[in-house]
């Protein structure tokens, strides 16, 4: 769509002075904005159903984020709409190619085998229209079986090593919604791992109270307590997601809070480099950009108060339910 591409090229590039504070992404040494742009469910929530109009709005959202100071952009091979996977990478490519050297692009593969991961990545590069990706992540780590598969001689992590050697990716990462202990084991086992993406929010996350994936070694089920400090110890760059639980935690009354507080909680968590926020709408994006540009860390008292307010929310979070698919 020529109009969308022209819109992207017509916007002025960010200035040298960062509009949003930057932090270093672990041992990568790369500095990224404390707020990142997400390209999954909340991204598509902001887009109309008409294909051409969706592309135009997507480019507007992404260019608004760049102009507002966002330098970290998160997508995945699978992100899109039902029956139209890959739209997220396509839209990211159209909007972000003009500023390729000024932004960090992260995508993901859901494959667990080397050949499958390489094939998906080749398609992702084609959709993005880019020569390389900054960060490629193994998508949705869930179980011990995942680690055995991805770390074999024919596993997906071998593909990431090869892609790093070929300079088609700069960094390798993992992501997961449901299992802090298993992600910790991956960090132990995967030599050359650079980053990890996982949920950080103020909702009480007690996985042992649900029939999901029992973790007796992790009775509180909280990424903050079991994985975050370990990443800091190992120099793994931490990317936070689900700060608003895909919007479920936003609202008034018991077990709800305003979006700014929820996002601020994740941004204020020690060890978190950047927090992925889906726009939901252009209005929401502009509000979030303003908050990030004027970010003030929450005090421990403010954080504790927010956690107490959301103490009954854990059992309804969609991304923790069996069968959840991150599209």
All structural domains of the chain with their residue ranges: 2-315
Statement: residue 111 has pLDDT above 70 = yes
Tokens 């398609």 label which residue? 123
What whole-number distance in Å separates Cα of residue 313 and Cα of residue 98? 41
CATH among 3.40.50.970, 3.20.20.100, 3.30.1390.10, 3.40.50.1820 for 2-315: 3.20.20.100
Considering only 5-14, 96-105, 145-154, 176-185, which range has the smallest mean pLDDT? Answer: 5-14
Residue 324 class from Cβ within 10 Å (0-12 exposed, 13-18 middle, 19+ buried)?
A: middle
User: Residue 177: which residues within 8 A CB-CB, separation 6 or more?
Assistant: 140, 198, 199, 242, 319, 320, 324, 326
Scanning the chain, the segments in alpha helix (DSSP H) are 2-10, 41-45, 51-67, 87-96, 114-128, 144-150, 156-165, 180-189, 223-226, 228-234, 259-268, 282-293, 300-309
Statement: residue 205 has pLDDT above 60 = no
Statement: residue 6 has pLDDT above 70 = no
Select from 66, 39, 320, 59 the least CA-distant residue to 205.
Answer: 320
**262 neighbors 287 (Cβ within 8 angstroms):** no
Greater model confidence, 17 or 190: 190
Using one digit for the tens of pLDDT, what is the confidence trace for 13-36? 455 679 999 999 999 999 999 999
Per-residue burial over 103-134, b = 16 or more CB atoms within 10 Å of its CB, e = otherwise: bbbbbbbbbbbbebbbebbeebbebbebeebb
**For the whole model, what pTM was predicted?**
0.90
Residue 97 class from Cβ within 10 Å (0-12 exposed, 13-18 middle, 19+ buried)?
A: middle
- Residue 66 sits at the vertex; the CA angle it makes with 251 and 140, to the nearest 5 degrees, is 60
How many C-beta atoms surround the C-beta of residue 286 within 10 A?
Answer: 15
Which residues share a beta bridge with 133? Answer: 169
Statement: residue 101 has pLDDT above 70 = yes
What whole-number distance in Å separates Cα of residue 183 and Cα of residue 313? 23
Which residues share a beta bridge with 136? Answer: 107, 172
pLDDT band for 5, please (50, 70, 90 cuts).
very low
Using one digit for the tens of pLDDT, what is the confidence trace for 52-87? 999 999 999 999 999 999 999 999 999 998 878 899
What whole-number distance in Å separates Cα of residue 321 and Cα of residue 210? 9
Statement: residue 285 has pLDDT above 80 = yes
């Amino acid at each position: 769509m020529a109009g969308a591409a022209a819109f992207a090229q017509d916007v002025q590039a960010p200035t040298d002075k960062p509009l949003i504070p930057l932090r270093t992404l672990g041992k990568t040494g790369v500095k990224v904005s404390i707020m990142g742009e997400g390209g999954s469910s909340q991204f598509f929530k902001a887009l109309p159903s008409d294909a051409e109009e969706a592309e135009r709005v997507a480019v507007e959202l992404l260019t608004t984020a760049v102009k507002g100071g966002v330098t970290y952009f998160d997508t995945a091979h699978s992100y899109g709409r039902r029956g139209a996977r890959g739209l997220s990478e396509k839209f990211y490519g159209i909007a972000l190619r003009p500023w390729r050297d000024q932004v960090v692009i992260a995508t993901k593969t859901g494959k667990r085998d080397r050949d499958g991961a390489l094939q998906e990545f080749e398609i992702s590069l084609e959709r993005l229209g880019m020569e390389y990706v900054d960060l490629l992540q193994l998508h949705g780590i869930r179980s011990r079986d995942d680690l055995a598969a991805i770390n074999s001689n024919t596993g997906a992590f071998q593909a990431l090593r090869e892609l790093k050697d070929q300079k088609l990716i700069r960094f390798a990462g993992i992501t997961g919604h449901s299992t802090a202990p298993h992600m910790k084991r991956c960090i132990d086992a995967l030599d050359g791992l650079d980053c990890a993406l996982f949920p950080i929010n103020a909702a009480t996350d007690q996985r042992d109270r649900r029939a999901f994936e029992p973790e007796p070694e992790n009775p509180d089920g909280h990424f903050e307590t079991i994985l975050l400090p370990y990443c800091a110890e190992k120099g793994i760059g931490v990317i936070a997601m689900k700060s608003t639980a895909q919007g479920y935690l936003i609202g008034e009354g018991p077990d709800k809070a305003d979006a700014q507080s929820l996002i601020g909680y994740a941004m204020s968590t020690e060890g978190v480099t950047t927090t992925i926020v889906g726009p939901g709408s252009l209005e929401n994006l502009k509000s979030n950009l303003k908050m990030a540009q004027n970010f003030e860390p929450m005090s421990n008292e403010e954080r504790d108060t927010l956690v107490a307010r959301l103490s009954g929310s854990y059992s309804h979070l969609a991304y923790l339910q069996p069968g959840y698919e991150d599209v």
